[in-house]
Amino acid sequence: MGKIFTGDRKSPVLFTSQNMIDKKKIQKIAESAELDKEFIVVDIEVKPVNKFTVFLESLDGISISDCVKVSRHIEQHFNRDEEDYELNVSSAGIDKPLTAPLQFIKNIGRVAEVITTNDKKQKGVLKAYSTKSITLAYSDKEKAEGSNKKILVEKEIEIEFNNIKTVTIVVSFK
């Protein structure tokens, strides 16, 4: 039974409460799906009225077939007569920020953009990942010793995760 809201006290309006599906339950079910490769659930977006998008990642990539298998596996655990929901299963996608260790490992050697907690941007090649930080390699112009000319110098910077707001891969169409 829903709650009654009387609003202007002239005519009652009934708000029904739907059965909300738990995000953790979806994750546990998705992770139990069997694919021909190792994979992880990177994220689950939940939108109002039981609309879920499950994002998967694998070192070997995620195919449409993989998404279909995981989607069917999840759907087997719910009764459409009792729970109304919309489910989408997708690869994590290059445009989403990196969040899982597997994503950082998979993208070593690619250009990444880091936005730090103080809103500074640093772009460079993702060189290394540890549980505490990432290392980026980048080029910067510096004055050459004994000259006013600037030369391109290769540098590396280690950024700790507690100083990182987001890390995304830079897509290049060269």
Domains, the chain, in order of start with CATH, read 13-91 (3.30.70), 101-169 (2.30.30.100)
**What average pLDDT score do residues 84-88 get?**
90
Residue 17 has pLDDT above 60, yes or no: no
Q: Which helix (H) or strand (E) holds 66?
A: helix 64-75
Q: Beta strand 3-5 with 164-169: parallel, antiparallel or unpaired?
A: unpaired
Q: Which string of DSSP letters, residue by residue, matches 83-144? A: ---EEEEEE--TTSPP-SHHHHHHTTTSEEEEEETTS-EEEEEEEEE-SSEEEEEEEEEEEP
Instruction: Please provide the average confidence, as pLDDT, over all residues in the chain.
Output: 87
The Cβ of residue 43 has, within 10 Å, a number of other Cβ atoms equal to 17
Please give the Cα distance from 121 to 165 (Å, whole number): 10
At 131-160, the pLDDT tens digits run 999 999 999 988 888 788 888 899 999 999
Please give the Cα distance from 100 to 85 (Å, whole number): 26
Q: Record the pTM.
A: 0.76
Q: What is the pLDDT of residue 1?
A: 37
Please give the Cα distance from 54 to 92 (Å, whole number): 8
At 88-135, the pLDDT tens digits run 999 998 889 999 999 999 999 999 999 999 999 999 999 999 999 999
